[in-house]
Structures are given as structure tokens and as C-alpha cells.
Structure 1
């Protein structure tokens, strides 16, 4: 990765499994970026209502005003509604439950939020070059469409595909890298689920998405990718960890990005 790499985009997902929102800056907390995955939607059994388990959640549109702590929701057959994330949680859960057809709750009690990876729960990282390359594998999927399918937090301004694969190495080690004043640690390539194969607006599955991805990922794998993480090739994006000394640091669009040394996990 060259010395001129910068942070091109920050996207947070305040409610797990709903739409993200781009921000100019985000502060790092113990669970990752604030307010990424601050809230989660649960069913009556306490299970996540997310894209892995509930295809219909893709059809819910969410627009956030983070300063005002508001979210506007829209879905087919529902009246558009705006809710305060702190004061209207029960009403928002009722709206979502009416659309989904079963009772849900909106929770925000867990310190550090509800990250997808509970061990490497720092911000996820991808590059602009990777998004462009992977979008080119599929007819009808734009770069923004691929961005919405993959749901990364940090996007690096690197035209070279898979440059972010330099941010992990073998199991048992982590790659340090600095974004602005914050030091993060790259852990592993993210193991993908069914979500990227689905249209982010409708939930409709793209035929042969996974098979095409695996074929092309294997064929385009750079020499710096790998380590011993690729037990299969349906992996893309980097999961990170947040050292304690990074808590409270702020990431900003335009921050320089520098790859540091590899360290043993847990150091």
C-alpha cells in the first residue's frame, strides 16, 4: 500500500441490518465506531432480525439524522414514519413488527453495541479498487450497489483491487495500521454470509452470486493475500480490532493511512 493512501469514506450502520449513513468523522469506542450497530432488532426469542435470517428486512429504507437522533423509515405497504432513536424505540419496534408480521424489539443495552464480529469488532475496511473490481464481476451491479451489499465501515482511496488484504496476515498475528492518529489492528478477511448475494433494496438473490464470487476471487487473488485464513474464498473486507489506546480517537475522511508492523494477537 503506497504512502499516499487516505480514508475516502466512513459509513456507519446505527441500527444493525438497516441502511448505513455516510459521515465525515466518527469516534472510536470499545465496540468500534460510534454509533455503528448501536441498536439491534430482536424477535420474540431474542434472535437478531437481520439480513441473514429475514429477507424482508432488505425492503426497509432508513434515513438517519444523527445529530437529531432521528431515523425515517419506509417500506412497501407502510406509511413513512420518523422516530427518535432514544425516545421512540417502542413505537419504532411496533412499526417494524407490523411490516414484518411478527413482534420485534429494538435494543441498545449492550456496551459496545452489536457488531457482526464479536471478537474482531473494530471498523471493517475495504478499498475503492476492490469495490470496483468485484462490481465488475456481475452484470447490473454498480459500485454503489456492491458497497451496499458488502457494508464496510471504512473505505480506503486505493485504486488497486484488494489492497486491504495487506492489513491481515497469518492466524495468531495482526497487522497494525494507522488512520490519522488512531492505531488499529487488521485481524482477518471477513467471512461473507448470504447478504452480499441479495439485492439491498428487495432481498432478491442474484443467481450464482457466491459461485461467481469464489471463482473470481480465486483467479484474482494477489500475492499478498492469504496467510492461512482462506479455508474458502468467500471472504472479502478486513475485520479489525481496536487497541485500548485508540479508544476516543476520531477518524476523519481524508485522514492518511499507514501500514505498520505485524504483532502477535493479544499484544
Structure 2
């Protein structure tokens, strides 16, 4: 079906991600992904939509002084509590980014920053949106594609079998080899 082009983790929700060559994928998603969140003095989450200055900060090395300066008010990091109903893995194809460049972009979506954990390149004619309800193998991890996001490119997936993925790994649709070439 395709190959993994890039793997990204987003250590702090709403902040920039970090490209990694390999990632362990557990039941809750990629190791180190979305484990922290930015909160204000009252403990309310601060999102990039309301404090756009934080969006470009590197979540892997940011400190609270930098966060507060970028947010324009005192903020700090807090452990991100479990997020029921939030899919642990976000996959986006290069083809989805190309479609977005042609104007096929969901409302509220940033085609410039799809915030994908796994950026994949699909075989000709591939479209990850057709995978909803199916399983894909990436490295030795198996993911079940659950839905398309309302405000993002790509698809969301749950982890069926934990494993490790790395850039260059094949993306294989399980149980449906697709058309032969």
C-alpha cells in the first residue's frame, strides 16, 4: 500500500512535533506523544488556537518561561490526563496533503501542519480514508483505522498490536492485499 515517510511525536499537546526515526507504538499511541499539556494558573488547558505563539515551540525542549512568554501570560506544563475517545495514532498520506493543496481541506484544518504521527506515501491511487474499519500493519504494529477526523487530514487509528515502526517501513493493509500491479 505504501511506506512510512516520517514519524513525529508531539510531547506537548498544541506544540510542534519532533521527527524521530523509530517509535514504539503502545496501546496509548507512540511513546512520548501528547504526554503533557499547557495549562494556565487556574489549571485550564491553553490551546494554540487561543495562544498562537505556543504552536511553533518545540515540545521536546520547551521550558515554562518560554511557554509563558509565547502565551503572553503565566502558564505551565501538566501531565495530560487520559483522553477517552481520542484515537492514539494519526496517519496522513502525502496524497492527502496534495489534495489539500488543491483545495480539498476539511474546515478548521491546517494543511501546512497536519500534526500526523505517521506521514505515509501511498501507492498510486491510494487513499487512507478508504481504510476506515480495516487494519494496517506498520513495522510490527497493527493499527485499526477507526475514522476520518472532522478538522484534520488523514485518518485516526487505535492500536491492535503494539510494536515498533520506523521511517521506511511498509504500510500493509491486512486481509485485503488490494489490486495486483
Fold conserved (TM > 0.5)? yes
Gapped regions of structure 1 (runs ≥ 5): 65-70, 74-91, 139-144, 169-173, 193-234, 263-267
Quote how far apart the aligned CAs of 1:104 are: 1.4
Greater C-alpha radius of gyration: 1
Which is richer in helix?
Answer: 1
SS in 1 for 2:111: helix
TM-score, length-scaled by structure 1: 0.57
How far, CA to CA, are the matches of 1:18 and 1:42 in structure 2?
13
Indicate how the Cα distance of structure 1 residues 45 and 14 shifts in structure 2: closer, same or farther if over 3 A, else same.
same
SS in 2 for 1:52: coil
Counterpart of 2:68 in structure 1 is 97
Maintained 8 Å contact 2:92/2:118: yes
Quote how far apart the aligned CAs of 1:161 are: 6.7
Pick aligned residue for 2:77 from 70, 88, 106? 106
Quote how far apart the aligned CAs of 1:12 are: 1.1
Pick aligned residue for 1:129 from 64, 83, 95? 95
Counterpart of 1:76 in structure 2 is none
| 1:258 matches 2:172 | yes
Structural RMSD (CA): 2.6
SS in 2 for 1:191: coil
| 1:188 matches 2:143 | no
Maintained 8 Å contact 1:7/1:154: yes
How far, CA to CA, are the matches of 1:23 and 1:133 in structure 2?
25
Correspondence 1:213-228 to 2 at 5 A: none
Q: Deviations over 1:182-209 (max 9, x none)?
A: 11100000111xxxxxxxxxxxxxxxxx
TM-score, length-scaled by structure 2: 0.81
Quote how far apart the aligned CAs of 1:21 are: 1.2
| 1:51 matches 2:48 | yes
Which is richer in strand?
Answer: 2
How far, CA to CA, are the matches of 1:108 and 1:63 in structure 2?
13
Quote how far apart the aligned CAs of 1:46 are: 2.5
Moved more, 154-163 or 19-28: 154-163
Gapped regions of structure 2 (runs ≥ 5): 105-109, 177-181
Size of the alignment, in residue pairs? 171
Counterpart of 1:32 in structure 2 is 29
Maintained 8 Å contact 1:133/1:161: no
Indicate how the Cα distance of structure 1 residues 160 and 43 shifts in structure 2: closer, same or farther if over 3 A, else same.
farther
Pick aligned residue for 1:8 from 5, 13, 17? 5
Indicate how the Cα distance of structure 1 residues 23 and 256 shifts in structure 2: closer, same or farther if over 3 A, else same.
same
Q: Deviations over 1:80-116 (max 9, x none)?
A: xxxxxxxxxxxx22332234232212012646xxx6x
